Amino acid sequence: MATSIANIHTEEKQNCPICLGEFSIPRQLPCMHSFCEKCLRDYLSSQAETLQKLDQIKCPICRQDVGISNQGKPTSSMELQFPINLILQSIIGDSKAKVKQPCDACHNAGIASQAHDLCMVCEETMCKTCSTVHRNQKFSRNHVIISVDEMLSNPQHVMKIAKGFSCPEHDGESIDFYCKDHTTACCSKCCIVSHRNCASVSDLENELPQLLQEINPESVTEKMKELENRLLTFTELNESNIGQLESTVKDLTSQIRNLRKQINDVLDKLETTIKMEGYRICKDEIIRKQDENHHCQGLINSIRNSYTLLETVTKYGTDTQMFLMTEKMTSQLTSYLEQIQQKYVKTETTKVLLKLDPQIRSILSAGPESLARIISRKELQSIHVPGIMNSHRNCLVQMEKTIEIKDNDDATPNYSGIVYLYSGHVMLTDYKNNILCLLNSDNSLTTYKLPCGPCEIFQFFTLTDGKITPTNKITTRYRYDGVAAAGTGKIVVSGEYAEGGKYYWSLISSAGKEEFYHQFDCHCDPSYTYVALDSSFTRVYIAVDMANSLYCFEMSGIQKFVYNHPCLDGPCGVATDSYDNVYVVGCGSNNIHQLSQDGVVLQIISDEVPESPMAICIRRDNNKILVTNDSDKTKLYQYRLR
């Protein structure tokens, strides 16, 4: 994990709200207000009487209560328990008030040491000892290493020293070529080893004008800062809970002493048990949360380093440097998001309470274990992670256009289904009005009124000269609401067959014969289902909205995976692209989740996704996406995959 060197330069200097002068070692309260270390020390000294009574003060700015852990410490040193505001400190950026940056390698080993150098390749700070080792090791002897002080004081000069970026696969080789087949920059050795069969490899300098139009370093930086803020929220929640846990032992002891007046000898044993168990649980939780925060802080530092380097390269580097660094940071962004989604989406708030048996007075003669016990209650607090586009080659990069549907019918539609036909036409189903709709080139609709309920009969249609003509129809075993083509005239339907979360899917031939039937349990309230198949028609994907889950089955009925995610709420539409990536729409979470065919999340897309998205379809020959929504029912949203 890397230490922050963030926000190096700004023209706006910040002033302490107490002394009104420029900050000197700014320390930050939990309410996010910052003060000079000396000003905060003086303020705490003035509140000594209040601290003795309440163990808390009020912020001089917002008057919010701030807990103080004095633990017998003199008032003159209490300000040290508040963290230095690294962002403000880096804004100050001059020699009279610099923050001591820790060495990343020593930090990971639990050793405190000051950073002296920064490796531009590894993006990690190093003390003098670690820097010497780094310079002499075979794998890193050619890395560009610069002084932290020089980075802070003269980043433009540093970028000139850094020159270019070497190939990550071939140490010391400059990156001078670009492979259009793999959309990646490479060195001359890469061209020979990895891209010798590629059709389009050219000089990077020649491709830069076009490539620079396709990147957005500012957006990557902003999204990294969003991740940083989420991680800061995570650590703040943990720190708050740590404070509660630290005070819990004192509260437990007080409760036990009051109880002891009534239960005498039995309470002697109970007091010992409660103290030991309560102290152990609280201490274990404190250690666990401190360890979480240690790792989380390391990730925060890595993110700060990444976007700071990107900002510096964007401002002072060459176009080549900016392009290469942006590509590298886009990949880093994906890695950071995966780590956050795996570990830092939720944090447990542990509360340790003394639980007393309500009949305690009637069982005073019993053993202490039956009178009271320590319980540990955990409450999950969700921390929203913003939708971030990654560098996956099927990434949803932008919304191409909004399609305004010309509907002459006065009835309000509800386009719950959408599909690309093999002819390239777009077909929609209006569930509310039992209408099948063909989208014409002028965005008008050709409609066909369904003669019966749309969830009991499956009907085949043909298109002739833009007209919808029914052919045969099939009666399904149960009511269905999900349907997808399964090749050679076959279909897969899905729906609920019994109350209590009992669902099914069936493979049906064009003649109406049920070739396969499978049941599965979701243990949820009655739900609608959406279904899709992969390009080879070997896997079935079913979204169940009330279960907040996507189910994947092989055609044999074997369940491959169940995907659910804290950021997926009310899954509706589901579709697959030409690479068999899976897309499931979160109607309640206003996002689209892109998964691999094995259920691994590749990205969560929220930018430019309409409110309450519903159905989704993908045209596999050009990877165009169409999305309907439940908020503005007369619009379709078209996206492009890269």
Phi then psi for 639, rounded to 5 degrees? -120, 165
DSSP string spanning 528-591?
-EEEEE-TTS-EEEEEETTTTEEEEEETTS-EEEEE--TT--SEEEEEE-TT--EEEEETTTTE
Domain shared by 153 and 250, yes or no: no
Domain shared by 401 and 364, yes or no: no
In-domain check, residue 122: yes
Domain shared by 367 and 400, yes or no: no
Q: What is the pLDDT of residue 74?
A: 52
User: Could you give the number of structural domains in the chain?
Assistant: 3
This prediction's pTM: 0.43
pLDDT of 380 over the 70 cut: no
Domain shared by 299 and 369, yes or no: yes
Domain shared by 155 and 218, yes or no: no
Domain shared by 77 and 219, yes or no: no
In-domain check, residue 416: no
Q: Domain boundary residue among 125, 144, 162?
A: 162
51-106 pLDDT, tens digit each: 666 577 888 887 788 877 665 555 557 777 777 776 566 666 543 444 467 788 88
Domain shared by 238 and 346, yes or no: yes
Domain of 580, CATH number, reads: 2.120.10.30
497-539 pLDDT, tens digit each: 876 678 889 998 878 888 999 999 887 777 788 999 998 899 9
Q: Domain boundary residue among 118, 146, 162?
A: 162
Q: Which residues contact 547 (CB under 8 A, 6 or more apart)?
A: 501, 522, 523, 524, 527, 564
Q: Domain boundary residue among 162, 179, 202?
A: 162
In-domain check, residue 423: no
Q: Which residues contact 79 (CB under 8 A, 6 or more apart)?
A: 27, 37, 40, 41, 44
Burial class (CB in 10 A: 0-12, 13-18, 19+), 392: middle
> Cα(108)–Cα(112) distance, rounded to whole angstroms?
10
Phi then psi for 510, rounded to 5 degrees? -65, -20
* Position 454 confidence tier, pLDDT thresholds 50, 70, 90: low
Domain shared by 355 and 406, yes or no: no
Domain shared by 233 and 336, yes or no: yes
In-domain check, residue 32: yes
Classify 146 as helix, strand or coil: strand
Q: Please give the C-alpha separations between residue 192 and each of 185, 318, 346, in angstroms, as whole numbers.
A: 13, 26, 46
458-469 pLDDT, tens digit each: 556 777 776 777
Domain shared by 79 and 218, yes or no: no
> Cα(418)–Cα(344) distance, rounded to whole angstroms?
36
Domain shared by 140 and 233, yes or no: no
In-domain check, residue 372: yes
Averaged pLDDT for residues 227-250: 83
> Cα(29)–Cα(67) distance, rounded to whole angstroms?
10
State CA 262 to chain mean position distance: 52
Domain shared by 145 and 293, yes or no: no
Element at 477 (helix H, strand E): none
Across the strands, what pairs with 498?
Answer: 502
Domain that holds residue 371: 214-382
Which amino acid does the sequence have at 399?
Answer: M
The tokens describing 594, both together, are: 């892109």
* Position 456 confidence tier, pLDDT thresholds 50, 70, 90: very low
The answer to whether 592 touches 586, Cβ cutoff 8 Å, is: yes
